[in-house]
Every structure is written in structure tokens, then in C-alpha cells.
Chains A and B, each alone.
Chain A
Amino acid sequence: MRIALVFSCLLWACAPKSHEAGVRHITYWEKWTGFEGASMDRLVARFNQRERERAGREANYRPIEVEKVAVSSLEQKLLIATAGGNPPDVAGNYSFFVPAYADKGALTDLGPLLAAAHIERENYIPHYFELGVYRGKVWALPVVPASVALHWNKQLFEDAGLDSNVAPRTIEELDAFAEKLTLWQVRLDSGDTVVERGYLPNVPDDRKRLIQVGFLPNEPRWWSYAWGYYFGGKLFADAAHVSPNDAGNLRAYDWVRSYSERLGVERIKRFRSGFGSSSSPQSSFLSGKVAMELQGVWLHNFIEQSAPGFRYGAAPFPYPADRPELANTSEAEADVLVIPKDSKHAHEAMEFIAFVSSPDNLEDLCLGQDKFTPLRTVSERFWREHPNPNIALFRELGSSPNAFAIPKTGIWNEYNRELTNAVDLIQNLSEPPMRALGDVAERMQAAVDRDRKTLLRRGEP
């Protein structure tokens, strides 16, 4: 009797969570927590409410209920769950994971579902819609886009005698501004210390201590692979050939290297090791230690949270003076929604995605996350209510013909690691760009060829 009771309890505990009869439950995994997650929570609640109300009105209608779960390291867990045959019905991922997952057969082709839900490609900013398209199929739908721009600290500009309302337009101007914005504490023969500006090449190393830098190419480190794009470089010459060592990339990384040469490798390392995370008041930019930084649309929110009242400006990242056609170059990625392969409720999942993607809901979501919408048309209310004074700039950069994204390739993670290591070698002055990027080209071409062989083996075109 006692044993039977114990077994009953165990069975009850192990049984799947019981759901209300007649309700179609779908699970939604989302990478965001914090205010971004809260913004999506509100939409999920609104969707569930709409479904319950419809069920109240229509006797035979079975409402959909979305259960949202915040998942860390989502990209890996999604793979394992899909392989185990128990994936979520919807997942919120980054756009740059789409090609690798599509290549591995982890995603559902959204094409037919989008057509049935009347979601049209024409309604989106082309660059952002294309992020979810790979090998001719739509695998993901953009919901919250982002782009990046040069941010500058107005107070430090004024201290350096620069006009705090004018950003550098060219790389050459950026370099000149950076020199004026670099500060050192210099020890004199008398033992007293003074603060001086510039790179001070004639002051011995043991006499000077870096206290402020105008610009550091490796702060933040997130986009160390991308500098080539701002100089006209590309990571792929065409779909089958890599080009990390093309002329634009070599020029970019020579420029990156020049900062290590001017400031000193060890000195930069020590200086950087005192920085906190990008969202904290101790970050390189918010603490006033770096005067100009490439940062994303999200920085405004960090400032509101960590340093209210901080005076800053945002402008397109500069272009080389001899390449004015590269103006408005910006990396533009997006958060996307995908339906994993073997989702048990693909149609219900698409209903939820369609709900989120309606103009009003998408604007609410993007307002809540302090970003702009991926749609072509934006309401007056959106501009009026948006807290970020530079939001129009970020949208313009995301729509620019020079907006770029991580290359669509199944080997991106590998390529990114190779580039990160090469940039490490370049910034540490361990190897010149020509050699470091040449090695990357050799290894990644082999990886592309291997990937191609794998796809052919599986009968992919």
C-alpha cells in the first residue's frame, strides 16, 4: 500500500504540467531578460488576453496560450532541444545565427506560413527582412532591429576645446580629435605631476600615465571583425571565397594597429582592465575614460539607467577622406523570431509571430526596448514617444545602402573566432595585418570548402 502511494506520488510529480482543456499551449524561448524581456512579456500577456476574449465570444474557438521562458545560451540549448525532438514552438534569437541553423536543418521554412498570415516582405526595411533570408528561403522574421554609430562625450570635447556639437566626419578627423582628447599624467623632474594632451612620443614611458583616451578601436570589443567594412573591405569576395585580407580590410587593420603603436600595447591593456561592463557607470565611455566610441542604439538606455544627465552625441561612424561613398556605414543586425524544426504547433506559433509583427505591437515592443522598428512605415506616435533623441539617426543608418551585417555563412562562428584572434595579434603588435589576415584567409577558405563539401554530401545545391 505504502509502495503504491510512493509510486503514485512519483508518477504525479513526473507527469507533464497539465494544461487547461481546449487551450492550445505554445512555448516561446527568449534570450532577453531585463527591460527587453519585460517589453516582450507585455505583448505575450496582450496576446493571451486577446485569445481568451475570442474564446469567450466564439463557442468552438480553442484559444492559444503562449508560455514565455527566458533561456540563457539559447542558441546551444535550442540545438539540443531540437535534436531531442522537443523544441519550443517559437524562439527569439539573433539574426546572425540563422544561416548556421538553417544549414543544419534546425529551422522551419517560414515562407508558406508568412504568406498565409499576410506578412509581406515589402512592408519591411529591405536590409532587415533579408537578415532572415538564406539560400532563397525565409527562416526568420525581424522584430527588433539595431544599428551602431559613433558616440562622443560632449563634456570631454568642450574640455579639449572642440565644438561639442560637431562629430568627426572622416577617419582622419577622428584621429585628429582622438589625439586632442588623449590625456596623460606626466611626472616632471621636480617630482610634481602635470596633465598634458596628445600622444607625447618624446616623454619617456616611466614618466607618463594614461588617464583618458580619445578613441580605442578595441573598446568595446564586440565588433573587432567588422572594421574592414568602414574602409570598404568585405569578409567574403563572393559566396565561395573569403577575403579578410582584401585592400579595405588591410587598410582598416593598419589603422587599428596604429592606435597600439601610438598608445603602447601594455599601457592599453592596463588602462582597459579598469573598465566595467558597457552598461555600468564604470564603462569606458560612461566613466569618461574614452571620449569617442562605436556603440549601438541601446547605449541610450544604459545612460538613462546608469548615468542620467550624461551629455553625449551620436553620428554616423567616420569614413576615410578619400572614400566619401562609404558615408553612413553601420553594422545593422536584428533580433528575430524563428520556428524550430519539428515545432508541434507551427501554425499557432505563426499566429503569435503575426500578432507581434503587427505595426502597433511592433512599435510598442521596440519602444519598450528603446530601439526602432524594422517596418518601412512608422507612426507619428512612435517618434513622439521615443525616449532616444537620436533614434531617427539609427533608423537611417539601418536603412542606408552601406548598412552591413555578418556574412550569411554556416561557418560564421569559426570565422569570427579566427578574426578575433587575428585582431588580437594585430593589436598586440605580435603580427602585421598582412600576415595575421593572410592566415585567416587561408584557414577560412579551407573551412568554406569543407562546408561546401558537407552540403554537397547532403545533396544541398
Chain B
Amino acid sequence: MTGASARRVRGLLFCAPWLLGLSVFLLYPLAAALYYSLCDYSVLLPPVFIGAGNYRELFHDPLFWKSLYNTAYYALGSVSFGVLVSLMLALLLNARVAGLALYRTLFFLPSLMPVVAGSLLWMWMYNGESGIINTALRHLGLNGPAWLTDPAWAKPAIILMAVWGAGHTMVIFLAGLQDVPSSLYEASLIDGANFWQRLIHVTLPMLSPVIYFNVVMSLIGGFQVFTQAFIMTGPSGAPERSTLFYVLQLYDVGFQDLRMGYACAMAWLLFGLILGLTWLLTKGSQKWVHYER
């Protein structure tokens, strides 16, 4: 064995654990799910190949479209509000004020709470009769909605909860803000730029790679929303299926109805959708993301 090939073998050996893990836990399930999506498969009985039958049925399934609409609504709401609020918080927490470390900790803390515990907490806060939110609204003379049991308010309520837990996004923004060279701010000050001009012409362009990263990551997470709805409004997406999200419907079909082939078809479509959206964002980002060269 020559020195080069021995090095290659050694390199592959060092990579082997990762390659093995990737193959067993990612590539094989992906390929198996693709095959099962073309089958009538209930896990316990051998899969029966039915071609594109599951995909054809999906496109005629009103619940598929309903869940896709609900998920897109949630993803759009949680990504836009989440990114906006966390950016605003990061800007505030980047200021030099007393007790900064305490504020940063306080705003970051909610994101450390497990989703299940957070969901239970918010269920109490959203209680139509005795919840803290409606109690506060009553003091202001307002009659709050029944939140999680009102079809018009259930999705916004879950979006609001997602915004509350946007601490991770905020920290990434904060790190990005601290990377903006102070020389740019000094130059803009000399040119007489005010706060808004500095924000629009210096901060946002310099922060654009971080904004792009956060938007992509939030969008991927947003399309996979499951736990909050499962805990807060139940597996059937109550009320009136206003919180029937895509992954919730996938779970119902796969694990409640044991129609795993159909669930695999849904999973592959979601994978394709997220991949497509990420590609679109990446293509579009060339126009607005500014990288320092």
C-alpha cells in the first residue's frame, strides 16, 4: 500500500463511525421512507407496492391541504414575528445600559424551557376564564378571546408562544451585532447619520447573513411544528382543525391510523417543500445578503 492510499484508508477509518451513523440513521430511513411512500404499508404487514397511489390520494385529501395551509400560516407568522422581535430585542440588548447581563439572561431564559413545560404554562395563561392574559385584558376594559378554543385565535396564540421562545435567535443576532466593525459606525457618525440611517445603511446590511441564517432555520423549524399543538389543542388539531398542522396530520395518519405508506408520502412532500423553500431563499439571498469580503 502506498503512503497516499494508506492515508486514505486511515482517513476513512476515522470517518467510519460518522459514515456508519449517517447511513444507518439518516440515509437508510430516507430511502426506506421513499420506497414505503409508494406502498400500502401498515408496519406489521409486508408493504404492497401501489406506485404513486398515496401521492395521488394526498392531492385530493382536503385535510392535507388544510394542514398545509395551517402550517404555512404558522411558519409565516412565527418566522416574521419571531425574527422581527428577536432582532429588536438584540438591538435593545446591544445598547450599553446598566444590568445588561441580567436583561440578556431574562430574555434568553424562556428558550431554555422544554416545549412541553412551556406549552402547559401557556395553556394556563390562555385560559379564557382565569388565565393571566385575559385577566390583564379585563383590567384594561377589554374582553379577551377564549384563545385556544376559538378557531380564529388558536393559531395566533401558538405563534405568540413561539415568539416568546425566540431567545436563541436573539442570541445569534446579538453575536452578529457585536461583529459589526465600529469603524463603520464612526464613519457614518462623521457623515452625520442618525440612528435610523445607521440601522438601515450599516447595521442591517452587515447583519444580513445572520438574518438569512435565522430566517432559514426558523422556517425549517416552523414547517415542523408539532409539540405545542399536540399538547395545547390535542392530536386532532382542535378547535375546528384550526391547529391541524402538517406534522400533526402526518402523526395521526402514521401512528393513529397505521397508514405508514401515506405518512411517508407526506414526509417526503414536506422534505421537498422545505428543500424548495430553502433553495428559493438561498437564490433570493444573493440580492440582499451582504458578505464582507
Contacts and interface: CB of A to CB of B under 8 A. Distances in A.
B182 interface: no
A361 interface: no
Interface string A80-100: 101100000000000000001
B186 interface: no
A430 B239 CA distance: 11
Contacts of A443: 62
A74 interface: no
Contacts of B40: 454, 457
B44 A413 contact: no
A106 B240 contact: no
Interface string A411-453: 1011001001100110010100000000000010000001000
Contact of A273 (B146, B236, B252, B256): B146
A137 interface: no
A379 to B, nearest CB: 40
Contacts of A134: none
Interface string B240-261: 1100000000001001111000
A458 interface: yes
B240 A269 contact: no
B224 interface: no
A18 interface: no
A79 B44 contact: yes
Contact of B127 (A105, A274, A413): A274
B151 A458 contact: no
Contact of A82 (B44, B238, B239, B257): B44
B146 A413 contact: no
A270 interface: yes
A425 B240 contact: yes
Given A104-B258, A417-B236, A430-B151, A79 B252 contact: no
Interface in A376-427: 411, 413-414, 417, 420-421, 424-425
Contacts of B252: 413, 417
A461 to B, nearest CB: 16
A82 B42 CA distance: 12
Contacts of A424: 238-240
B257 A414 contact: yes
A273 B44 contact: no
Contacts of B239: 424, 428
Interface residues of A, number: 32
Contacts of A270: 128-129, 146
A273 to B, nearest CB: 4
Nearest to A443: B62
Contacts of B62: 443
B43 A274 contact: no
Interface string A48-80: 000000000000000000000000000010011
A266 interface: yes
Contacts of B149: 269, 272-273
Contacts of B151: 428, 430
Contacts of B258: 79, 100, 104
Contacts of A300: none
Q: Which 6 A-B pairs rank lowest in CB-CB distance, beginning with the nearest?
A: A269-B146, A273-B128, A274-B129, A413-B256, A417-B236, A270-B128
29 contacts: A79-B44, A79-B255, A79-B258, A83-B44, A100-B258, A104-B42, A104-B44, A104-B258, A105-B42, A269-B128, A269-B150, A271-B129, A272-B149, A273-B127, A273-B130, A273-B131, A274-B129, A411-B257, A414-B256, A417-B252, A420-B238, A421-B240, A424-B238, A424-B239, A428-B239, A430-B240, A457-B40, A458-B45, A458-B48
Interface of B: 40, 42-45, 48, 57, 62, 127-131, 146, 149-151, 235-236, 238-241, 252, 255-258
